[in-house]
């Protein structure tokens, strides 16, 4: 499809690759590596990213839904896809039929798989060590082992838990330390299966690296345990993580000044006239709105980058548009060309000036995960970099991928 609106998300595959490579290098001893590309690859486009990860030699990725896994397979991703959400009997049949890797969190899961598996199937077993969302209770570990031992078609390849507060990982007595200690106890019960362990999300990975930088000897961190990084592969850290690990933001959300209105002193802008001009003003109309994932909470709060300068968002964000006050910028500059009119909502502009997703999250009273995953379906993703990948793998199929 052609796009008639200059609003899009640039996805920098070279930045993505740098993040993946620096994580792999720092966790070279980890026995399992499973980048999380659920929720459309945190908004970055799951089909393209899965193929790119495959091109980089990544053996497994994680999604939440069977539906997401089907999209990856359709794109041509042939390595392991772990399904984290859980499943009913119908889901079990689909997982088995498609060759996906189920994450088991309940005795029902075991029963469904054992009933329908025709051949041996790889499973990963999840324990709840405090998140209280999915996973067996630690007190069930012995029973789970017995049940799995009596389910010959199920081959336990992985054992996992999910950290609820990775950012306290450098504390000796924190929630993470407690969870890891508990997970280690569960691991002993599972030793006969010799599973691969995977534990660390972005907070956990960064805490582990931070502890290493601070030369803290945390006995609860195990170098062999595997990692499931999400946010950090897209170039961001949970707010407050002190490590100087240099990650590379992958998404640049862009739009354009489609026209400029002269607004007289005293006039309002947008619904409810929540902003009024204190002087004769030049207001840029930008064709992106909350339906594209630019949150309405950002009204009268956020700023954008135009010609490398910060320009304030004025008036309420609409479904399809937002307005910016260009009065100061236009005192010394003109928006002659298409490039001049470019608006960067977050990420890098073409001069590498940067506006962080963390700042957008702060103004929207949310977290960076939500800002990235909310970038809407009608915002096309344009991939930058990844030259050999496009030449060798994607070719002319690029237009069909998400």
Ligand X SMILES: Cc1ncc(COP(=O)(O)O)c(C=O)c1O
Active-site amino acid positions = 38, 271
Q: Please, what is the minimum distance in Å from the beta carbon of residue 312 to ligand X?
A: 31
Binding footprint of ligand X, residue count (CB under 6 A): 12
Nearer to ligand X (CB atom), residue 36 or residue 81: 36
Q: How far apart are CA 1 and CA 392, in angstroms?
A: 23
Binding to ligand X in span 334-373, by CB under 6 A: 369
Establish if 129 lies at the interface with ligand X (CB under 6 A): no
Find the part of the chain contacting ligand X (CB under 6 A) among 5-13, 199-207, 355-363, 394-402: 199-207
| Tokens matching residue 375 | 């970038």
Find the part of the chain contacting ligand X (CB under 6 A) among 14-22, 196-204, 271-279, 352-360: 196-204
Binding to ligand X in span 226-255, by CB under 6 A: 228-232
End-to-end CA distance of the chain, in Å?
A: 12
Establish if 36 lies at the interface with ligand X (CB under 6 A): yes
Q: How far apart are CA 179 and CA 62, in angstroms?
A: 21
Q: How far apart are CA 141 and CA 190, in angstroms?
A: 8
Any alpha helices (H) in 99-227, and if so which ranges? Answer: 107-116, 141-149, 175-189, 202-213
Q: Please, what is the minimum distance in Å from the beta carbon of residue 202 to ligand X?
A: 3
- Determine which residue in the list 33, 52, 84, 275 makes contact with ligand X, applying CB under 6 A: 84
Establish if 197 lies at the interface with ligand X (CB under 6 A): no
Q: Please, what is the minimum distance in Å from the beta carbon of residue 162 to ligand X?
A: 4
Instruction: Specify the long-range contacts of residues 313-317, CB closer than 8 Å, at least 24 apart.
Output: 314/269, 314/270, 314/275, 314/283, 315/268, 315/269, 315/270, 315/271, 315/273, 315/274, 315/275, 316/270, 316/271, 316/272, 316/274, 317/270, 317/289, 317/290
Nearer to ligand X (CB atom), residue 127 or residue 346: 127
Binding site for ligand X (CB under 6 A): 36, 84, 162, 201-203, 228-232, 369
């Amino acid at each position: 499809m052609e796009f008639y609106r200059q609003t899009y998300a640039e996805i920098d595959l070279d930045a993505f690759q740098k993040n993946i490579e620096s994580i792999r290098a720092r966790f070279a001893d980890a026995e399992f590596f499973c980048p999380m590309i659920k929720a459309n690859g945190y908004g970055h486009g799951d089909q393209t990213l899965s193929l790119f990860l495959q091109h980089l030699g990544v053996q497994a990725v994680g999604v939440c839904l069977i539906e997401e896994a089907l999209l990856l397979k359709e794109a041509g991703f042939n390595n392991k896809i772990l399904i984290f959400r859980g499943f009913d009997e119908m889901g079990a049949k689909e997982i088995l039929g498609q060759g996906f890797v189920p994450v088991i969190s309940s005795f029902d899961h075991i029963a469904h798989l054992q009933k329908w598996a025709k051949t041996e199937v790889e499973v990963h077993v999840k324990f709840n060590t405090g998140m209280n969302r999915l996973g067996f209770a630690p007190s069930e570990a012995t029973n789970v082992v017995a049940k799995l031992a009596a389910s010959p078609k199920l081959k336990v390849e992985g054992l996992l838990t999910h950290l609820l507060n990775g950012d306290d990982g450098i504390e000796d007595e924190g929630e993470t330390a407690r969870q890891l200690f508990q997970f280690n106890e569960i691991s002993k019960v599972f030793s006969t299966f010799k599973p691969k362990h995977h534990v660390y999300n972005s907070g956990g990975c960064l805490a582990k690296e931070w502890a290493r930088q601070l030369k803290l000897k945390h006995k609860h961190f195990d170098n062999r345990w595997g990692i499931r990084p999400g946010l950090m592969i897209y170039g961001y850290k949970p707010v407050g993580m002190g490590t100087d690990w240099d990650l590379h933001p992958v998404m640049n959300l862009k739009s354009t000044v489609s026209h400029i209105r002269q607004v007289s002193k005293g006039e309002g802008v947008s619904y409810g006239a929540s902003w009024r001009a204190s002087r004769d003003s030049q207001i840029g109309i930008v064709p992106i709105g909350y339906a594209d994932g630019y949150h309405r909470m950002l009204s009268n709060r956020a700023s954008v980058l135009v010609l490398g300068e910060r320009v304030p968002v004025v008036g309420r964000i609409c479904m399809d548009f937002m307005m910016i006050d260009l009065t100061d910028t236009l005192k010394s500059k003109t928006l002659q060309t298409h490039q001049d009119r470019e608006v960067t909502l977050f990420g890098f502009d073409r001069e590498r000036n940067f506006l962080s997703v963390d700042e957008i999250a702060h103004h929207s009273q949310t977290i960076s995960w939500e800002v990235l995953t909310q970038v809407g379906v009608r915002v096309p993703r344009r991939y930058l970099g990844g030259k050999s990948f496009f030449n060798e793998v994607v070719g002319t199929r690029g237009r069909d991928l998400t």
